[in-house]
Amino acid sequence: MTNENRATSSDAPATSSDAPATPGVLLAGGLARRMGGGDKPMRQIGGRTILARVIARLEPQCDGLILNANGDPARFAGFGLPVIPDTVENFPGPLAGILAALDWAAANRPGVEFILSAAADCPFLPRDLVARLHRARAEENAQLAVAASDGQSHPVIGLWSVALREQLRHALVVEDIRKIDRWTARYPLATVEWPVEQLDPFFNANTMDDIAAAERLAALDGG
């Protein structure tokens, strides 16, 4: 493990939680066409890669992290995380990454009931993400939970039940469902809203202008 994915003191979790053990998967399968290709999470903000910032935010909250990415996994070797590719062909989007993580959890963490997914290009994820999602899921007796901010849902950031992995596989392979919202609509879903007074914790870097904006936001967020 390198210094890239060690949390700094400013990255310490704001709260402790009695949430169940929850591995996290960082979804890095996007093609970054609006940035000219390449891996968006490897872009730097304030001297640190976006991926390093995501790891620092989630590592204290999750019971281990894995990275979903296709292609040569060696490009992520410096982060010390297991790298798992999609288990469905033709890059069908983030649902494929979630399914790959559910398959990984079933094979490697048989006692785990839920995984957390997060986009690997969201450098300001909330430090209470796992705790609040689990609390809402339990309170609403939901099977799934997703994050929201400023009135907008962020379905790629959420809790996923390992028990639903075969249903998800059927939806992807047989029904060709690609949109997360179409699949989650089939199940009881909790949506948890985060405030955006200082910054949107689910800001993601899609363009070079976003990278410049993230530099400014990182200063507000303590670097």
Give the domain extent around 130.
Answer: 3-220
Answer with the residue of higher pLDDT: 125 or 43: 125
User: pTM score, two decimals?
Assistant: 0.86
Residues annotated within the binding site for GTP are 27-29, 40, 68, 86, 121
**Computed over its alpha carbons, how large is the radius of gyration of the chain?**
16
Residue 185, classed as helix, strand or coil, is: coil
Least Cα distance to 88 among 16, 29, 137 occurs for 29
How many other C-beta atoms lie within 10 A of the C-beta of residue 85?
Answer: 15
Average pLDDT of the residues of the chain = 86
CA–CA dist 45, 199 (Å, integer): 15
Residues annotated within the binding site for Mg(2+) are 121
- At 127, which CATH number? 3.90.550.10
Using alpha carbons, list the distances in angstroms from residue 42 to 70, 76, 107, 153, 158: 14, 9, 28, 25, 22
Q: Is the pLDDT of residue 15 over 60?
A: no
Domain count of the fold of the chain: 1
Residues annotated within the binding site are 27-29, 40, 68, 86, 121
Q: What is the mean pLDDT of residues 88-100?
A: 88
Per residue in 34-71, pLDDT (tens digit) is 334 457 888 888 889 999 999 999 999 999 999 999 98
